[in-house]
Structure 1
Amino acid sequence: MSTQEQLPGENTPTANSLIEKESKTDDINQIVADALANKTFKDYFLISCLCFLVAFGGFVFGYDTGTISGFVNMTDFIERFGSRGADGVATLSSMRIGLMISIFNIGCALGGLVFAKVGDMKGRRIGLMFSMAIYVAGIAIQISSHDKWYQIMIGRFVTGLSVGIVSVIAPMFIGETSPKAVRGTLVCCFQLCITLGIFIGYCCTYGTKTLSDSRQWRIPLGLCFLWAIFLTVGMLFMPESPRFLVEKKRIEDAKKSIATVNKLSTEDPAVYAELQLIQAGVDREQLAGNASWGELITGKPAIFRRVVMGVCLASLQQLTGINYFFYFATTIFKAVGLEDSFQTSIILGAVNFLSTFVNIWAIERFGRRLCLLVGAAGMFVCLIIYSGIGSKALYGTDSLGNETTNLTTGRAMIFVTCLYIFFFASTWAGGVFCILSETYPLRVRSKAMAVAIGANWLLGFTISLTSSFIINAIHFYYGFVFTGCLAAAFVFIYFCLNETKGLSLEEVDELYAQKILPWKSASWVPPSAQHMASSTGYAKSSQEHLV
């Protein structure tokens, strides 16, 4: 069979032929279930390793977050890129810090919205390699800067373009490639790599902070070239997304990809059965016509609702306040009165990384909705305590009227912060990416995820740009802003978010087609494939579909 051929007997799909073909997929589903139900983790080891290579794109993002927090507090960095006052002492103004940190998020938003389509045109693997080429250029711009702070800002914007592409393509790639039984766990590996990157970034800046010259920040930056090489080489061993290959009519390549993922022979009936299921889903989407940006509003079933849900969910992830700690951790804990705030950053990074393993287990054990609800409630309580004791009990005055810092209160704030990060990392961190990767049909997934993740980056830009000013103005009262957002997030999750645990991408479409109430979605049982083919709207003509 040629790689450009369709499956035997398949021509351009029509509504009637598609429904007839879908009527056979109950048996196909049973073949797949029989072949895959008894697989152990050992059987998924290879695809787990391959998906981890894709997820390593998250490490690139996390490493940037972990290093920039330290850079803006390093003596050589301040001397080179700060401005000098009348006393000749160099300082980094709130505006300069805000711009250097936040411009990265603007680059991420544009990268996700504009350049991530490379993954649709050339494939997910090529898209990730392309992103790494941009990433290397951005790091080169930064590391070659001598004393121009705006060169650092430009370089961070360019690296942001790369990370924006990765943030769209990597979770989508993992979601399309991994078996349904372990998809949620493997998608969460993207967040695991983000937290690992943050932790390693904190460790690198801690290790170089005592150096007396530009090696303080140039060594951590230079390591970024190694991360880019690792991800690029890794993509040479990663099979392309079978859904992408089927969409491009590369059927033989899709068979090989499915066989590799499931450690089966290309002639195994389960491989052919899985290929039939993917082909049926792609046929439904192609029958509806090519996706346009307008279809994000008019598409069925409930595409606009899903897009709005994704935008809200991605925005609320930023509004939990997590980057208030990660971008400004070193600055915050200087204010608490600790002698070495770099050490505290490492502690927070370690808690963040280790807690993500809980997320990988919990997301499949308890489902997406429950994890996010528990996480929102836990973070709400932690931030109430953190903000309350920080604003009321941290500072005092001695007998001479001088301001003093209560170190016991400061240590209590660090402990509460660790609890807060545990709740975030074990629930919202990976849960949001997992839900986004499972929510959209193939033909609109790239655009819909780009919009959702773009909203996430824009909120990140706003928070990172303004936080330095707000921290200086209202100090620890800032935490109360995020407690209000967390209360809203809890309500949103309960009333608006559907459970997608254990559902195929096609079954998620049916969930929305039936307008299942979110708080009842966890107990919903998918109907037969024949029923889905006639009810979701994908077996309708393009005109009907968009009405």
Structure 2
Amino acid sequence: MGKPEEAGVVQESPPDEADIAAKEVFGEDALRATEREHALTFFQAVKLYPAAMGWSAFFSLGVIMTAFDPQLLGSLFAEHAFQKDFGYLFEGEYIISAPWQTALSMGNPIGQVVGAVLVGYPMEWWGRRWTFAGCVTLTASFIFMQFFTRSIVVLLVGELIGGLILGTYTTIAPTYASEVCPMAFRGQLTAYINLCFVTGQLLASGVIAGTSKIDNHWAYSAPFAMQWLWPIIILAGMPFAPESPWWLIRQGRLEEAEKSLNRLSSPTIDNKLTLAMMIETDKLEQEMETGTTYLDCFNKSNWRRTEISIGVYATQVFSGIYLVGFAALFFNLIGLDNDKSFDMSVGFLAVGWVSTVLSWVAIAKFGRRRIYNIGLTVMTILMLLIGFLDLAPNYLNRKSISWTQCILLIIWNGVFDISIGPVAYVLFCEVSATKVRTKTIAVATAAQAIVGIVMTVAIPYMINPDQANWRGKVGFFFGGLSVLCLIWSYFRIPETKGRTYEELDLMFERKVKTRAFKNYKIVEIAGGNMHEA
């Protein structure tokens, strides 16, 4: 207990006592670096760390490829030339059967399960830089199979094998972004990964909208060929990319880590302090026994962090994001003609792109927890409205209802991309311990992809006219799942805005309650004694 107040004078702890107490937790140089991180504003960070922003964005280009391929394939299911070459006649129209839609769509989610987990090993052995370069080279090779095939079986093999490599980028990109960016724009740069997803989806829909009127194989061969653009750009830049300083520290290569930090920041930054903070965090995690293996993601010191990472990412699928891949087909099946369906799918993703950019402002102003929970609440309501509209009398003859459902789904996508879409990447990068960040992100990605596999199987059967033909009633399905996710997120997602990795380590170690994260103080001095607050 502190001393009582005397005659209206508040007894304050001497400044040097506070410094000493904090140094016991952080170390002198690490404390100075932590204080600098907290003092840095977004615009100051942009000025001082332009290279970190640029290279983080560069490593996220792989995510554009990850998003382009499944969106392309989902749009091709509604393209006449593709339907004719790979489908069969059903009531006078060519369609791709639900089993084949499911099989072809499996490449991406299966790839994320296997690729995300396997890439954790070369990322630890060879680093982020060389692993990324190797994966991009393999992606460029497997595009040949997609481009030249005229057989649905060969296309299936190409999608499955190519998907294994595409699945690695959803682990590489957030890991690198979280390891090179200062706290002031860490949220924006990890959220940028969602923008890359939307960009890939938007480009794929735009390309298909432009080629859908072609009557021969170039209607789908040309979009497949477009995928070579990104490997060319990435491989040209790879020789100049700096390695992650966090990875170099864990390898004991401290001089190289400092050089990497110098390359990522302006010359005015004293990176010896930053290096000291990173080394201190690494030592703290060794003391906490966070470990370095996949099994360590589930030990008692990491389990809560892994659960949050899995939950925020899997909620994206439970809420309905896999409908985006079937947007053109979905719009077509609920009543829009073919051309309007493709146009709407492009508009659908354009709204998502703008929303993701707006999310950067929201993340900086409101943090993570509030945006995630409010966004998910609105999305749940919108999905249920889409379902109820499908119950309207004489539905098939009332185009206004179809258009309303389309507009609601577009609004839903906009809300997703300003809330749980980008914020999920921010959260699983921030809550994971640095020593197992790659593994935690891989586990979360694999878990999300497993749920994605279930949805990839289910959605064609839900919406195809030769199967359940639910149309907008899928809103009830995803709306119901969203309610359950909302309950979980309210009680489990903490606020991580404005916290260094070392501070988050200490807060998780102390088992701080979810809703106490926002205002929790690491050390507080009262009457000369240090205690938790």
TM-score band w.r.t. shorter chain: 0.7 to 0.9
Q: 8 Å contact 2:72–2:204 — kept in the other structure?
A: yes
Report matched runs for 1:270-349 at 5 Å.
270-286=270-286, 288=289, 291-300=292-301, 303-324=302-323, 326-339=324-337, 340=339, 341-349=341-349
Pick closer, same or farther for the CA change 1:72–1:437 going to 2, 3 Å. Answer: same
Q: What's the offset of the Cα at 1:293?
A: 3.0
Q: What's the offset of the Cα at 1:222?
A: 0.4
Pick closer, same or farther for the CA change 1:304–1:289 going to 2, 3 Å. Answer: closer
Residue identity matched to 2:218:
R
Residue number in structure 1 paired with 2:149 = 145
Rounded Cα–Cα distance in structure 2 between residues aligned with 1:37 and 1:110: 36
Report matched runs for 1:510-525 at 5 Å.
510-525=506-521
Rounded Cα–Cα distance in structure 2 between residues aligned with 1:28 and 1:338: 57
User: Structure 1 residue 527 and structure 2 residue 520: aligned?
Assistant: no
2:434 to 436, 442, 447: 442
Q: 8 Å contact 2:40–2:184 — kept in the other structure?
A: no
Pick closer, same or farther for the CA change 1:535–1:44 going to 2, 3 Å. Answer: same
Per-residue CA shift, 1:462-497, capped at 9, x if unaligned?
101111111241332221111112111221111111
TM-score using structure 2 length: 0.88
Q: 8 Å contact 1:53–1:235 — kept in the other structure?
A: no
2:502 to 502, 506, 509: 506
* Structure 2 stretches lacking a partner, 5+ long: 1-22, 525-529
Q: What's the offset of the Cα at 1:431?
A: 0.6
Residue number in structure 1 paired with 2:455 = 463
Rounded Cα–Cα distance in structure 1 between residues aligned with 2:306 and 2:374: 24
Pick closer, same or farther for the CA change 1:334–1:277 going to 2, 3 Å. Answer: same
Rounded Cα–Cα distance in structure 2 between residues aligned with 1:37 and 1:30: 15
User: Structure 1 residue 490 and structure 2 residue 494: aligned?
Assistant: no
Report matched runs for 1:47-86 at 5 Å.
47-83=52-88
Q: 8 Å contact 2:290–2:433 — kept in the other structure?
A: no
Q: 8 Å contact 2:297–2:440 — kept in the other structure?
A: yes
Q: 8 Å contact 1:208–1:216 — kept in the other structure?
A: yes
Residue number in structure 1 paired with 2:18 = none
Q: 8 Å contact 1:63–1:198 — kept in the other structure?
A: yes
Per-residue CA shift, 1:431-482, capped at 9, x if unaligned?
1111111111122222221111101111111101111111241332221111
Q: What's the offset of the Cα at 1:244?
A: 0.7
Rounded Cα–Cα distance in structure 1 between residues aligned with 2:234 and 2:112: 18
Rounded Cα–Cα distance in structure 1 between residues aligned with 2:108 and 2:154: 13
Report matched runs for 1:9-408 at 5 Å.
22=27, 25-30=30-35, 39=44, 41-83=46-88, 90-146=94-150, 148-264=151-267, 270-286=270-286, 288=289, 291-300=292-301, 303-324=302-323, 326-339=324-337, 340=339, 341-393=341-393, 395-396=394-395, 404-408=396-400
Rounded Cα–Cα distance in structure 1 between residues aligned with 2:35 and 2:192: 29
RMSD over aligned CA atoms reads: 2.5
Q: 8 Å contact 1:50–1:237 — kept in the other structure?
A: no
Pick closer, same or farther for the CA change 1:30–1:496 going to 2, 3 Å. Answer: closer
Q: What's the offset of the Cα at 1:29?
A: 3.1
Residue identity matched to 1:181:
A
Q: What's the offset of the Cα at 1:258?
A: 1.5
Rounded Cα–Cα distance in structure 1 between residues aligned with 2:261 and 2:41: 12
Secondary structure of 1:156's aligned partner: helix
Secondary structure of 2:228's aligned partner: helix
Rounded Cα–Cα distance in structure 2 between residues aligned with 1:31 and 1:346: 43
Pick closer, same or farther for the CA change 1:423–1:35 going to 2, 3 Å. Answer: closer
Q: What's the offset of the Cα at 1:392?
A: 2.2
Same amino acid, percent of matched pairs: 22
Which deviates more from structure 2 when the two are superposed, residues 215-224 or residues 45-54? 45-54
Pick closer, same or farther for the CA change 1:264–1:220 going to 2, 3 Å. Answer: same
Pick closer, same or farther for the CA change 1:495–1:462 going to 2, 3 Å. Answer: same
Residue identity matched to 2:51:
L
Pick closer, same or farther for the CA change 1:252–1:493 going to 2, 3 Å. Answer: same
Residue identity matched to 1:511:
M
TM-score using structure 1 length: 0.86
Residue identity matched to 1:195:
V
Secondary structure of 1:522's aligned partner: coil
Pick closer, same or farther for the CA change 1:72–1:37 going to 2, 3 Å. Answer: closer
Provide the aligned length of Structure 1 versus Structure 2.
499
Which deviates more from structure 2 when the two are superposed, residues 156-165 or residues 282-291? 282-291
Q: What's the offset of the Cα at 1:201?
A: 0.7
Secondary structure of 1:310's aligned partner: helix
Secondary structure of 1:236's aligned partner: helix
Q: What's the offset of the Cα at 1:130?
A: 1.7
Pick closer, same or farther for the CA change 1:297–1:80 going to 2, 3 Å. Answer: same
Q: 8 Å contact 2:353–2:417 — kept in the other structure?
A: yes
Rounded Cα–Cα distance in structure 2 between residues aligned with 1:296 and 1:535: 29
Residue number in structure 1 paired with 2:14 = none
Residue identity matched to 1:338:
L
Residue identity matched to 1:291:
T
Q: What's the offset of the Cα at 1:261?
A: 2.2
* Structure 1 stretches lacking a partner, 5+ long: 1-17, 397-403, 529-533, 537-547
Rounded Cα–Cα distance in structure 2 between residues aligned with 1:417 and 1:21: 48
Rounded Cα–Cα distance in structure 2 between residues aligned with 1:335 and 1:224: 28
Per-residue CA shift, 1:214-234, capped at 9, x if unaligned?
110111110111112212323
Q: 8 Å contact 2:385–2:475 — kept in the other structure?
A: no
Residue identity matched to 1:387:
G
Q: 8 Å contact 2:333–2:471 — kept in the other structure?
A: no
